[in-house]
Amino acid sequence: MTGMIGKTPQLDMLSQLLDAVTLRHSVIAQNIANLNTPNYHCLQVSFESELGQALSESESVSGITTQISETTDGTARPDGNTVDIDEQLGLLTKNAMMASAATQFLASQISQLRSAITGR
């Protein structure tokens, strides 16, 4: 039965977004865990800029890659660590809200598909 319903662009985008949110959550957790590690450089996940570019060019979002890179705007402490705990906790909250919104929208899309299939 799988494969009978094609992927919609919205579901494809939500899948990519949820993958990026999951990865970002892991990266933020890693940054927080390394708060006191000397010479640790804070990492970040970039996804939204590539998503916006793909959407503006009307391309498929399935080819979007999620990049992990070191942040360059952080100020290093005397031990060389660039993790700002307040910034990371703010990013974690923002990421959790994005995950919640994407999950709710995905549930809505699945509900619409279910209604279309059952005719209700």
CA atoms of 79 and 81, how far apart (whole Å):
6
Could you give the 3-state DSSP secondary structure of residue 65? coil
Q: Does the residue 86 lie in any domain? A: yes
Instruction: Please work out, in degrees rounded to the nearest 5, the angle formed at the alpha carbon of residue 34 by the alpha carbons of 70 and 75.
Output: 50
* Token pair 């579901």: residue: 11
Q: Is residue 4 part of a domain?
A: no
* 3 part of a folded domain: no
Count of domains for the chain? 1
Over the stretch 103-116, which tens digit does the pLDDT of each residue have? 999 889 888 888 88
Please report whether residue 51 resides in a domain.
yes
Pairing of strands 67-70, 43-46: antiparallel
**For the segment 10-62, what is each residue's pLDDT rounded down to a tens digit?**
788 888 889 999 999 999 999 999 999 999 999 999 887 777 777 777 666 66
Residue 81 lies in a domain: yes
